[in-house]
Structure 1
Amino acid sequence: MSDAPLYDIAEGPEGGRAFWLNAADGVRLRVGLWTHPGAQGTVLLLPGRTEYVEKYGRAAGDLRARGFATLVIDWRGQGLADRALDDPMGGHVTDFAEYQLDFDEMVGFARAQGLPEPYYLMAHSMGGCIGLRALMRNAPVKAAAFSAPMWGILIAAWMRPMAVALTTASRWFKFDSRYAPGTGAKSYVLTAPFAGNSLSTDPEMWEYMRKQALAHPELGLGGPSLGWLKAALTECHALTLLKSPAIPAMTALGSQEKIVDTAPIHTRMAVWQNGTLDLYPGAEHEVLMEGAAARARYFDTAAALFLKHR
C-alpha cells in the first residue's frame, strides 16, 4: 500500500487521501478515503462502470455531513487502476469474479487501516451488481444502499439472443476485446449534449462531471468490450437465480432510467426482506448526480437506514 494521486476535481471534504492497492491476482487498484474523528461508521462506495474515485468527492461530503467516513474504489480497468487492454478507453474483464477480488482488497484495506465500524455498502449501477454478489458472499456490512443497480442489462428482447451469440462467439474466436456494438473510445459526458442525456437532469452536476473528464481525461473510459458484455450478461443472469441476502437494503431508481434494465430491480426489491424501493420522479440514471433535493433525499434515507443498523 502506498499513496496515490487524489485530484482536486473531486471537491471532497478536507483531508482526503488515495492509496494504491494490489488485488490477489496482482492488478493494481486505487482507493480514495475521506474519514474524520467521530465518524459513526464507514461507507464502502462502489462506483459504476466508467466511474472513478473523484466523481464521488461531493458524495463523500454529503456522507460526512451525516456522520460517516467514505471509502471509494477504482475498479480494475477504470480510473487510475490497471487497465487490461492496449486501448485504455476499452472497459474489459473476462469474468465478474475479478471484481470480487477488488472488493475483497477494499475490505482488507478498511480493516487494516482500522476505519470506523460498522461498515455499510453504497453501490451505483455496475457497482450494484458487484455489491449484490459481495453481499451474497457475506460482505461485512450492516446495511446496503443501491442506486440504479445493474441487475440486468438493458437490451431489447429481440436483440438479446443475438447479443448472447455474438459475445459468446467473441470469446471462442478471440475478438472479445473489441468494443460492443454501438460503443467506442469516447467518454459519454464529453460527447453527449446535456439536453437528452441519460445520466442527470441537473445542469450543475452534469458540468461537474464534464469538468472532471476534461481536466483528467486519463480517468475516463469509453464503451465496454464484448468480453465485458459477455461477463455482465452471465453475472446478471446468475444473480437472478439467487435469493436476496438477509440484510436491510434500499434501492433508489429514477423514473427516467435508460441505462440498466429496471425489471430485475422491481422483481428483486418486491421480495427483498427488509428491503425498500424508492422511486425518484423525473430522475435519470444517476440519482447521486441529480439536483440538490434528490441527492439530499437519497443521502438522508441511506443515513437513516445505516444508523438504524449499527
Structure 2
Amino acid sequence: MSIGRYRCRGPNAQGEAVAQTLSDLCALIPAGADPEALRAAEGALYDPAPIAPERLVPILAHPLAEGQAQPASGPVDGLAWDVHAAAIRALSDGPRAILCAGFKARIEAGAATRDEVGASPDDCISAPDAALAAALLPVARDLAPQDLAVIAQAAGAARAATEREIGEALRTGRLKAAWSDGWDCVDATASEPSARGWAACLAWTVLRALAECDECRLVADRWRWGHAALLSLPPASRAPLLAGLRGVMERETARPGGMGFDAGPPIPYEGPLF
C-alpha cells in the first residue's frame, strides 16, 4: 500500500490499520512540504529546546510516517517522546491523537517498547464522547416527514416502526434503547446511502456505537459501503459523521486486541493541523 511518497514494503499483519495511521500522519504534513528539509530538521526532535507547534507537528509526523511504512526501521525512538511528550499532549486534539497513535504503532511494530513511549490509549482519542454526540445529534435529527415515512418501511428491517414512533424517539434521544427491542429500521436505512434520511440514520448508528462500544464492525461496514456518499455530503453533515466514525475506530483500537477499522479506505482527517 502507499500514501503519497510513503510506501509500505512487504506484508503487514495489521493490514488496513496501518493505512489509517499512515493516512492520518500524512494529513499532518502540509502539502508541498520538502521531505529532505523535514528529514534534515529531525535533529531538533532530540534538542530539549521547545519547538513551535507548526514546526513540531510536521517534523515529527514525517519520521513516524516513514516508520509506519517500514515498521522494522525508522528514525524515531523513545527519546523523541521523552523530550516532547508534554508538547505533544498540549496540541489540538486531532494532531495529539494522531501523533500518539503513531508512537503506539512503533510499539506494536517492535521498534519501541512501552517503557520508552508513554502514549496511553486516552492519548490516542481525538474527541470526548460528549463532544462527538453534541455534533452528531443535529445531523441525526435532520429529518423531514417524508424521510420518516421511508425509514418506517425500510426494506430488510425486522419490523416496521411508525413515523410517530421514529419522530418521538429522535426527539427524545431514546432511539438507542429502541434497537434492543428489535426496532432496526433505522439501521437498515443507514446501510442504504441512496435512501432518504440515510445520513441521519447513519448518525444514530454511530451514536449507538459510541454509547455501547460494541458496534465497531457494523459501523466499519457502513463506512466501507457508504464512504463515497458520505464524503459528498455538505460539510455540516460530513464533518460530524467523519469525527464520529473516527471516534468509534479509536475506541475500538484502544481495546485489547482491537484493530480499528480493518476494512475500507482510511477515514480522512478534517481538523486543525497544529
> Which protein has the bigger helix share?
2
Task: Give the structure-2-normalised TM-score.
Answer: 0.25
Task: Give the structure-1-normalised TM-score.
Answer: 0.23
> Which protein has the bigger strand share?
1
